[in-house]
Amino acid sequence: MLSKKVQYAVVALTKLAREYDKGPVLIRDIALQQKIPKKFLEVILLELKNSGYLGSKKGKGGGYYLIKHPSEINLADIIRLFDGAIALLPCATFKYYESCPFHKNENTCGFRSIIKEVRNQTVKILKNNTLEDILKKEDELIKKNNPL
């Protein structure tokens, strides 16, 4: 399950993607509109800024903004930033590998093999979906569910 931090990060990033090239957005506005606790959001946005996804401007007209185009920010990278490994088992991860304490030979473990398949498909889907894709999907769903 994704942590609240990842969920809030994706929601905030999606909001900033909608405002891409329109100027900075205040933390207060994001927090209120997206129903995210402001103090928690501050920590998340600072981490995103320090990781090179966001820029910020202080003072009047200030706030946070994307410094990368929404099509350049994929979900796998955001999940890994906050939650670490995407795989369900430490012995099946790519970037956060830990040896399995239960098996002498991981290469013959059927369970690990299946979990690696799940990881590979999950990573593929997450890497191939960006903030821009989220916006497109939301627009499609709005049209589908509100045909007027």
3-state secondary structure (DSSP) of residue 56: strand
Q: Quote the CA–CA distance of 97 and 20 in Å, as a whole number.
A: 36
Per residue in 19-47, pLDDT (tens digit) is 999 999 999 999 999 999 999 999 999 99
Q: What is the pTM of this model?
A: 0.89
Q: Decide which of 66, 83, 112 is a domain's last residue.
A: 66
Residue 15: which of 58, 81, 64, 80 has the closest Cα? 64
The predicted model gives 7-13 an average pLDDT of: 98
Per residue in 78-91, pLDDT (tens digit) is 999 999 999 898 88
Q: Quote the CA–CA distance of 31 and 147 in Å, as a whole number.
A: 29
Statement to judge: residues 8 and 62 lie in one domain: yes
Q: Supply the range of the domain harboring residue 29.
A: 4-66
Domain count, the chain: 2
Higher pLDDT, 103 or 7: 7
Q: Quote the CA–CA distance of 3 and 121 in Å, as a whole number.
A: 20
What sign does the dihedral 65-68-74-80 (CA atoms) show? Answer: negative
- Give the pLDDT confidence score for residue 102 in this predicted structure: 80
From residue 119, give the alpha-carbon distance in Å to each of 6, 87, 95.
18, 5, 12
Statement to judge: residues 94 and 58 lie in one domain: no
The predicted model gives 6-25 an average pLDDT of: 97
